[in-house]
Amino acid sequence: MANFYDTHFHLDLQDSKDKILKYIELNNIYTIAVTNLPPLYEKLDKEIQSKYIRIALGFHPELINQYKKYIPDMWRLLPNAKYIGEVGIDLKANKESKNLQVSFFENLIEQCGNIGNKILSVHSRMAASEVVSIIGSNFNGKVILHWYSGTKKNQIQAISNGYYFSVNYAMLCSDSGKKIVANIPNDRILIETDSPFIKIDNQVFNPLNIKKIIEGISKIKGENVDDMQNILWNNFLNLISNEDSFVKSTHS
């Protein structure tokens, strides 16, 4: 049976966190809750005790320069964090910190690769070439390119390298986004809300609207909605295949 899931959700930034948590629990929505700084990860990881949620250790590239003091905390927490995100490189808003972003990301990929079996949600705004080059084709883990907006050339390389792409509602509302989605192989597509940064009908996108993403992908791919939901669910199961406790814990 196919279920709903969300591979990139900012739980700590929600206005009504308790209401959202209740909805996730009631509707069995498997959720990877990304964070933007190591101390925020530690706080959320202590607060949340839900079998449907996994907290990801993150350090948003836009915050690297401002919060350099937390970089040692990232390396301290990394060995015990299965999910890593949001991480990556952003050369649109923070081009002046490129060198720091690149060196941090290189270090992160090296350490994650050495530990193995991490699942990364990666930001690559105007930096797809750098991100794909740094991760490479032999990464010892799984990579999700979150809200990919790079060139077709870099997308083809990322596909060849075995990365996943997480698709949100905003990508389905632009011609460029639709082209990117159309180019993703069916077995490499995942879904994300990126809430609260994306809106639908002038409201913050929340788990209630996940079916809208599936419907949009189905239309682009020319697939039946139920068939597409099954494909997307199987992709998620493949993504988390090394963590038996996530999905199985909800069926025990």
Nearest residue to 33 (alpha-carbon basis) of 15, 6, 51: 6
Q: pLDDT-based confidence at 248, cuts 50/70/90?
A: low
204 token code pair: 């913050």
pLDDT at 1: 64
pLDDT(70) > 90: yes
Share of the chain above pLDDT 90, in %: 87
Section 72-94 average pLDDT: 96
134-192, pLDDT tens digit by residue? Answer: 999 999 999 999 999 999 999 999 999 999 999 999 999 999 999 999 999 999 999 99
2-21, pLDDT tens digit by residue? Answer: 799 999 999 999 998 999 99
Q: Where are the beta strands (DSSP E) in the chain?
A: 5-9, 30-33, 53-55, 83-88, 118-123, 141-146, 164-167, 189-191, 199-200, 203-204
Work out the angle at residue 247's Cα, subtended by the Cα atoms of residues 3 and 33, and round it to the nearest 5 degrees: 80
pLDDT at 221: 98
pLDDT(251) > 60: no
Rounded Cα distance between 237 and 166, Å, is 14
Structural domains in the chain, sorted by start: 5-251 (3.20.20.140)
217-239, pLDDT tens digit by residue? Answer: 999 999 999 999 999 999 999 99
Rounded Cα distance between 191 and 186, Å, is 12
Residue 196, SS3? coil
